[in-house]
Amino acid sequence: MKRHPSLTPLSREHHGALILARLLQKDAPLYKGLPADDAGKAEYALNFYKDELAGHFMDEEKILPLVKGISSELDRLADSIVEEHEILRLHFGAIPGRTNLEDHLDILGKALESHVRKEERQLFPLIQDSCTEEVLFRIERILSEN
C-alpha cells in the first residue's frame, strides 16, 4: 500500500529503526559499518534512540490524538502504540549496566521490530483509510513543524 504523504516522514524513519531492531537480535547478520559486539550494539542503540527514536516517538504521540475518536479500532491501536513506546523507552533506559546484555538487546530488538511492523502494517493503513483529508493535512502540518 502506498503511504499517504502525511505519514511518509514517519514511515521513512522506520527504515533505520528496523535495521537497529535486526542488529540487536541474537541471530542478526553482520551489517557493514555497524558494531558486531554487544557493547558496541548497546552504544549504537543508545545513540540511535537519543538521536532518532526518542523524537520519532514524540512525533507519533503528537499526531495520535488527531485520530482518536474516529473508530474503536483506531483508538485501540493508538493506545497500544503509546503503551509500546513506554515499554521501549524502559528497555532503552535499562541498557546501561545490564549483566545479561545480549539477552536484553535481543528482547529489545524483537520488541522494536514488532512495534514498527504494527505501525506500518496496521496503524498507518488504518489512518489512511479512516481519516479525512483534513485530518491527514493536520498530521502533515504537525510533522513538518519538527
pTM value? 0.94
Model confidence pLDDT, tens digit, residues 59-75: 999 999 999 999 999 99
How confident is the model over 106-141, as pLDDT tens digits? 999 999 999 999 999 999 999 999 999 999 999 999
Q: Which residues contact 81 (CB under 8 A, 6 or more apart)?
A: 60, 64, 115, 118, 119, 123
User: How far is residue 68's CA from residue 77's CA, in Å, rounded to a whole number?
Assistant: 10
How high is the mean pLDDT of the chain?
95
State yes or no: pLDDT of 7 exceeds 90: yes
